[in-house]
Amino acid sequence: MVMNNAREQLIETTAALVEAQGYHATGLSQILKESGTPKGSLYYYFPAGKEELAAEAIAHTAQLLVKRATEALAADDDPAAAIPEFIRTIAHYVEASDFAAGGPLITVALESVTCSERLNLACQDAYRRLQEVFAAKLQAGGYSATQATHLASFVTAAIEGGTLLSRTAHSCAVLRQIADDLGVFLHIMPKS
Amino acid sequence: MVMNNAREQLIETTAALVEAQGYHATGLSQILKESGTPKGSLYYYFPAGKEELAAEAIAHTAQLLVKRATEALAADDDPAAAIPEFIRTIAHYVEASDFAAGGPLITVALESVTCSERLNLACQDAYRRLQEVFAAKLQAGGYSATQATHLASFVTAAIEGGTLLSRTAHSCAVLRQIADDLGVFLHIMPKS
């Protein structure tokens, strides 16, 4: 897909604002101001307005998460080493943002459960794709397809919950503990 | 502390709205309407307004979470059985709410990281108290104080992340898998 600059800028700005403050708190005027995009472009590219733009922003974030996870997990053949190392990278990222970033979909995922089917489906798709990356790594590491799918949900939940607790505490100690614990868990978990 | 009815009603209504839709989306007019409380009461009990009221609502939620967790964990002496069973209870609760409830602090915790020190501290305190309940149970089950504290964070992160993924997916399959996985993990994790 060829991305127009104004369209891309609107999507990236929205993704960053939704990550930092959620969907409800993000207004179109703030998106226009921070992206430096004229109002006409917004309605040209996203005739349905904020919800349509946010759905694209979630898809954009999903693509980034999948790319980062895939690249990071390729660093070690053993999922019990690669997954904890990826979580330590997330901890660095959260710290570098001064706890303003990390878990980019958590807020909008909960906000949209009952309020917006479109955004809810975009979040479902994003988490499904991310879990597939972990599942593929676990299966390549010797777990059965069923167990890999199962453990991929566990890993994703631990990362999202750990990011939440770390951002709340203004300390990534919890994310690093989770990296260690998941490493132990994946080492001692019998492969079926 | 003696709770006045109007004060209590304001706190409970705010807690429910913050759980369902977050802090930003919850307006004072909606709180007044749903609690059936006159505006004068709000500023009498909470002169600093919405933020003060939300901080009390978070403290109220924390108290409920601690109470529910403490009671649920008392059902079995073995933390490797009691903690998974508590997570299955959370899954029932999330399903009963049609995925509108569960993880009552997740959204406001992330919303407040950089925007409100008062609410951030209230969320930190809430998660700290909840983790202490798990840590006490794990220590009573034979883990050292350090390991119990460590694992309590892991359990809390898995629950919050699992609730997030379950609400997003409109299915509690993930929370139930996490209950099973944590059960296995706590059974095979060597006690230090």
B117 within a domain of the structure (yes/no): yes
Query: Residue B140: which CATH number?
Result: 1.10.357.10
The residue-averaged pLDDT of B79-95 equals 97
Is ipTM strictly over 0.85?
Answer: yes
Interface of A with B in 108-127 (CB under 8 A): 109-111, 113-115, 120, 123-124, 127
The per-residue pLDDT for range B148-175, each reduced to its tens digit, is: 999 999 999 999 999 999 999 999 999 9
Q: Are A173 and A166 in contact (CB under 8 A)?
A: yes
B42 within a domain of the structure (yes/no): yes
Across the interface, do B167 and A113 touch by the CB < 8 Å criterion?
Answer: yes
Interface A-B, measured as beta-carbon pairs within 8 A, has a size of 147
All residues at 6 or more sequence positions from A71 whose CB lies less than 8 Å from its CB, including other chains: none
Q: Number of structural domains, chain A?
A: 1
Across the interface, do A167 and B109 touch by the CB < 8 Å criterion?
Answer: yes
**Burial call B30-68: b when 16+ CB within 10 Å, e when fewer:** ebbebbebeeebbeebbeeebbebbbbbbbbbbeebeeb
B74 within a domain of the structure (yes/no): yes
A117 within a domain of the structure (yes/no): yes
Per-block mean pLDDT, blocks of 10 residues, chain A (192 long): 77 95 92 94 94 98 98 97 98 96 95 93 98 98 95 97 98 96 91 83
A21 within a domain of the structure (yes/no): yes
Structural domain that includes position A85 = 6-188
A13 within a domain of the structure (yes/no): yes
Interface of B with A in 8-27 (CB under 8 A): 20-22, 24-25
Q: Are B151 and B189 in contact (CB under 8 A)?
A: yes
B1 within a domain of the structure (yes/no): no
A1 within a domain of the structure (yes/no): no
Closest CA to A17 of A3, A5, A34, A38: A34
